[in-house]
Structure 1
């Protein structure tokens, strides 16, 4: 990927695949909490796609990035305000949902790394701001999933009567 348009097109594809992933797996997970999280993330990835699409159109039409203001959406607040409420955790979900949570973690990590590497190559200040914001959001998603994977792993241990600590 040598130019900004290629980077934006690739990022749009990533965001679209993420939206499809969350929409597909929201009906496969057993945890209500994870289902709600996936619903919110599907919406967020759609918003990310729309932001990128707008920038691509500007690049194609004017060869410049358009000024923008990114506010944290209600969906992004889901990630920031999510708490671990052990009283309402269904221990059965942890084992069956764990592979899906791990896939989500890996996907979000890949996205964060992609945006961070693209940011290193960006020279346009608007592009840098866009990529930095997207990298930050994806890191927040990744970190949220890391916490969920750890919680699900520990709960599956407890459900099986295994206490490694």
Structure 2
């Protein structure tokens, strides 16, 4: 892979993460409950962390032509720590927040596809490590967003009497 292609992928990844951060910040600003707002703000903060890591990689790669995935040791999501049953219930009760969860899932899926694809294509072990780490982090986000979404669907189905039994 050429240096320009690697830089283009990093730029695309940075843009994707910045869009995610803006989306989560908007969702936070629209939330009427403090704990739901905190959940979306936490998600936004995690996207900011991704932007920082990717930006550092971009600068380093542009200067040296090398990836350095040593920052990947700090993986772990804090968003799941603020996602309490009460927050889930408040999200379920608010149409905007429920729609935001669905949209967020699509964004996380796009990020996973980009990062997994790049990890699979790369022959550079450090680049592969970086993108696999980012894909795994986004998979964590997607997993608990999907759990919220499944819970929301079940509540809606129950409330609407969609069950035949």
What TM-score does the superposition give when structure 1 sets the normalisation length? Answer: 0.84
RMSD: 2.5
Structure 1 runs of 4+ with >3 Å offset: 29-34, 81-84
Could you give the per-residue CA deviations for residues 85-138 of structure 1, whole angstroms, max 9, x where no partner exists?
269824862544221110001111111111111111111111111000000011
Which sections of structure 1, spanning at least 5 residues, go unmatched? none
Query: Pairwise mapping of residues 102-141 of structure 1 onto structure 2 (< 5 A)?
Result: 102-141=102-141
Structure 1 residues 33 and 147: alpha-carbon distance in aligned structure 2, compared to 1, 3 A threshold: farther
Q: 1-side partners of 2:152 and 2:70: how far apart?
A: 38
8 Å contact kept, 2:28–2:41: yes
Counting only pairs closer than 5 Å after superposition, residues 1-165 of structure 1 correspond to structure 2 as: 3-30=5-32, 32-70=34-72, 71-72=74-75, 76-79=77-80, 81=81, 85=85, 89-90=89-90, 93-158=93-158, 160-164=159-163
Provide TM-score, normalisation by structure 2.
Answer: 0.84
Query: Paired residues, what number?
Result: 161
Q: What secondary structure does 1:54 align onto?
A: helix
Change (3 A) 1:143 1:121: same
Q: Secondary structure at the match of 2:12?
A: helix
Residues in 2 aligned to 1:27 and 1:46: alpha-carbon distance in whole angstroms? 16
* Structure that is richer in helix per residue: 2
Write the distance in 2 (CA, Å) between the matches of 1:20 and 1:133: 22
Moved more, 90-99 or 136-145: 90-99
Pair 1:149–1:62, CA change in 2 (3 A): same
Preserved CA contact (<8 Å) 2:35 2:87: no
